Amino acid sequence: MKRKIVVLTGAGISAESGIATFRDANGLWEGHDVMDVASPEGWRRNPKLVLEFYNQRRKQALTVAPNAAHYGLAKLEEKYDVTIVTQNVDDLHERAGSTNVVHLHGELSKVRSTADPKLVYDIREIDPDGWELVLGDQCPKGSQLRPHIVWFGEAVPLIETAAEEVGLADIFVVVGTSLVVYPAAGLIDFVPDSVPKYVIDVKLPPVSPRPNLRLIEAKASEGVARLVEELM
C-alpha cells in the first residue's frame, strides 16, 4: 500500500507559470478591488464586470502551461498516493498529470447556476472556445450562470474533505502559500505531530514551531525538485 502525501498549494506555484496572483499587497487584482470582482456583493452590484473579469482570467489561463513544480508533484504519484489540496482556481495540476486534486476555492474552468449550486458545468459546454460567460447564459432552470469560484464571504464547501485528507497524511507538504488565508491556512494544524511536514516558499510563511517541520526557502519549482529527489 502506497504511503499518502497531501500537498497544500497556493498562488506561488501558479505564479511561475505566469498566472497573476489573486491578491497583491494593495488588495487589488488586475487593477480591480477584490471585493468588486470576488464577493457576492460585487456580483449583485455589477455582474457584467464580474463576468468580464473572469472571462479575462480564463483567457489568460489558456495561454499558460504547468511548470516544473506541477510536474514534480505529479511525478510523486509513481511511488505515493498523492492528494493535492489547492487554493488555486486554475487547472495546472490536472494538466501536469495529478489525478486527485481538491479545489478549495473553486475552478476557473467551471461555471454554476445561481439558483442551484449543485448545477456545475464545464465552461466549454457554454463556450466552445473555453473562456467566455456572458449575461443571459443560463442553467436549465432559467437562472444566470456565475463563475464556479468561492468568493470572499462564502463558505468553503470542500474544507472538511481537505481536513480529512490532511489527517490521514503520512507526509504533508505546503508549496507557494502564505498560510494567511483561512480556513486553508489552518489545515497544517490537522497534521499529526509524528508526520513529516515540508514548507516550500521563496518567502517562507510564519509557521509556529512543531515536530518534524522542514522549511525549504526556494521558489516552487526548485523546492519541489529537491523534495521529489529526496522522496523518490
Residues 90, 195 share a domain: yes
Of the two residues 97 and 181, the one the predictor is more confident about is: 97
Confidence of residue 181 (pLDDT cuts 50, 70, 90): confident
Q: How much is the pLDDT for 22?
A: 57
Residues 189, 230 share a domain: yes
Q: How much is the pLDDT for 199?
A: 97
> What does the block give as the cell for 26?
494593495
Beta-bridge partners for 120: 112
* 25 has pLDDT over 60: no
Where do runs of H (alpha helix) occur along 46-191?
A: 47-61, 68-75, 92-96, 159-167
CATH code: domain of residue 128 = 3.30.1600.10
The mean pLDDT value for 92-116 works out to 97
Candidates 176, 175, 212, 205; CA nearest to 191 is 212
Q: How much is the pLDDT for 219?
A: 95
Other beta carbons within 10 angstroms of residue 22's beta carbon come to 18
Residues 116, 185 share a domain: no
Neighbouring residues of 98: CB distance < 8 A, sequence distance ≥ 6: 70, 73, 74, 77, 82, 84
Q: How much is the pLDDT for 27?
A: 52
Where do runs of H (alpha helix) occur along 67-215?
A: 68-75, 92-96, 159-167
CB 11 within 8 A of CB 104: no
Give helix then strand counts, H and E, for the chain: 8, 11
The mean pLDDT value for 32-41 works out to 91
Domain housing 124: 23-63+110-149
Residues 75, 48 share a domain: no
The mean pLDDT value for 48-76 works out to 96
Maximum Cα interatomic distance, the chain, rounded to a whole number of Å: 53
CATH code: domain of residue 92 = 3.40.50.1220
Residues 122, 223 share a domain: no
Query: Cα-flanking dihedrals φ and ψ of residue 162, to 5°?
Result: -65, -45
The mean pLDDT value for 195-206 works out to 93
Residues 127, 72 share a domain: no
Residues 122, 142 share a domain: yes
The model scores a pTM over 0.85: yes
CA distance between the termini of the chain: 16
Residues in the chain: 232
Positions marked active-site: 105
Query: What is the number of domains present in the chain?
Result: 2
Using CB atoms within 10 A of its CB, is residue 140 exposed (0-12), middle (13-18) or buried (19+)? exposed
